[in-house]
A = this chain, B = another copy of it.
């Protein structure tokens, strides 16, 4: 029931960018601020770039910035993008399902509903809602 560290740091990278809308932020600075390796962050930023959420400018004075307004980035979508294992129980994967109770079992549906309720909460919240700082209280994001 826990989220991966990868998800954890992905959310924090996005929050850090959202809290600094007026400038490019660097991986080195986020690494120091969040006390996490630059290597780990580079993978995260690369994936966020692939998803079109951040843009990276290389070279001196370079860095990253959000490509979407924080209010347009739903927490649920970020978590869906980083969490890979939603196999809540064995029978979620028909290929490995050996459970002989499956035909009469309603557990799968119950767990699917619970997961849907979980994401409904996260989908109602955007990056702008969670990254409230003095700066981002007044929306300053510019595309």
Contacts and interface: CB of A to CB of B under 8 A. Distances in A.
A32 to B, nearest CB: 9
Residue among A34, A89, A100, A115 with max Cβ neighbours from chain B (10 Å)? A89
Interface of A: 1-3, 5, 7-8, 11-12, 15-16, 19, 33-35, 75, 79, 83, 85-90, 98-101, 104-107, 110-111, 113-115, 117-122, 125, 129-133
- How many chain copies does the complex carry? 2
Given A19-B104, A75-B110, A110-B130, 7 more contacts: A1-B79, A1-B115, A12-B101, A107-B130, A111-B122, A114-B121, A114-B122
A110 B114 contact: no
